Amino acid sequence: MTKPTPVSVCGAAGRMGQRLVQLVAENPELALAGAVDRRDSPFLGLDAGHIAGVGTLGVNVADDFGPAAAASRVYLDFSSPEGAEEHVLTAARTGTAAVIGVTALSEKATAVIREAAETIPVVLAPNMSFGVNLMYRIAAEAASVLGPDYEMEIVESHHDRKKDAPSGTALALLDRLAAARGLDPAACAVYGRHGTPGARPRNEIGVHAVRGGEIVGTHTVIFAGPGEVLEITHRAQSRDALAGGAIRAAVWIRGKQPGLYSFGDVLGLTG
């Protein structure tokens, strides 16, 4: 029988991190080799399995990714933009494959990840839900087929603790819709409206963020055209929509050549 692949989780004490620890523990192809959290985390030194509610796993939460990276073939990162940049630099030195789901990455952090992908395989995706990644393709095709007579709006909703807005998924949708129409997303995007903005320009794409309560994540693309409206909506019912995708990516990336991959690559939706 093939030995399970050793995996580390960065951001292990967060809500997503705890779910990832649970799923790694349940997956016979994977084994938890490291758990990392921020340097001021109150969970440092505690067993990651206890924090996640799956019993003793023999892996304590640490604030130094170096030993965890050296002990792992793959790491899952749902920590923070700053953490993601630091972790991928370490992974490039240890040859550890990366699955990064952190959003709100700076241009510098994104550049660092791209450079690291010349050395290690990296899956970088703001959303690892199967449905959302299919939505990217469907929405882009709709934008292309319907044409400029159908005006496009993106509305996303999340819980009241989400720090960034708009969501990484909404920005990914913006990129795909703009590309389908031959537009520059930086030039055509309008983030919310107020005051008296006047009539809507033809090539504008509105992006709107809603925050409140316990909303896991909802994304809607609206195509408003002559006499009709088409809406494409994805609703995440739980974090499993994202965590399950991350686990699938961790299994998929084993043995891949260095490079920057999307979750569409994991699902076979690209190319």
**Residue pLDDT, tens place only, 114-146:** 999 999 999 999 999 999 999 999 999 999 999
Computed over every residue of the chain, the mean pLDDT equals 96
Do residues 34 and 165 both lie within one domain? no
- Tell which residue, 9, 252, 253, 260, has the closest CA to residue 112: 260
- Tell which residue, 130, 120, 86, 125, has the closest CA to residue 102: 125
Do residues 84 and 97 both lie within one domain? yes
Do residues 22 and 113 both lie within one domain? yes
CA dist., res. 65 & res. 36, Å (int): 6
Do residues 145 and 92 both lie within one domain? no
Residues 6+ away with beta carbon under 8 Å from 183 = 203, 205
For residue 48, the domain's CATH number is 3.40.50.720
- Report CA dihedral (38, 170, 162, 102) to the nearest 10 degrees: -10
- Position 2 scores a pLDDT of 83
State the total domains in the chain: 2
Out of 87, 159, 162, 219, pick the active-site residue.
Answer: 162
- Position 262 scores a pLDDT of 96
Q: 């241009």: which residue's tokens?
A: 107
Q: pLDDT tens across 23-41, in order?
A: 999 999 999 999 999 999 9
- Position 1 scores a pLDDT of 58
Do residues 225 and 145 both lie within one domain? yes
Out of 158, 208, 219, 234, pick the active-site residue.
Answer: 158
Domain of 231 in residue numbering reads as 130-235
For the chain, give the percent of residues with pLDDT over 70: 99
pLDDT band at 271 (very low <50, low <70, confident <90, very high): low
162 flagged as catalytic = yes
CA end-to-end distance (rounded Å), the chain: 33
DSSP 9-54: EETTTSHHHHHHHHHHHH-TTEEEEEEE--TT-TTTTSBHHHHHTS
194 flagged as catalytic = no
Q: pLDDT tens across 92-108, in order?
A: 999 999 999 999 999 99
Region of 259 (left: φ > 0; alpha: ψ -120 to 50; beta: rest) is left
Do residues 98 and 141 both lie within one domain? no
In 231-249, which positions are buried (b, 16+ CB within 10 angstroms) versus exposed (e)?
eeebebeebebbbbbbbbb
pTM of the model: 0.90
Q: pLDDT tens across 209-238, in order?
A: 999 999 999 999 999 999 999 999 999 999
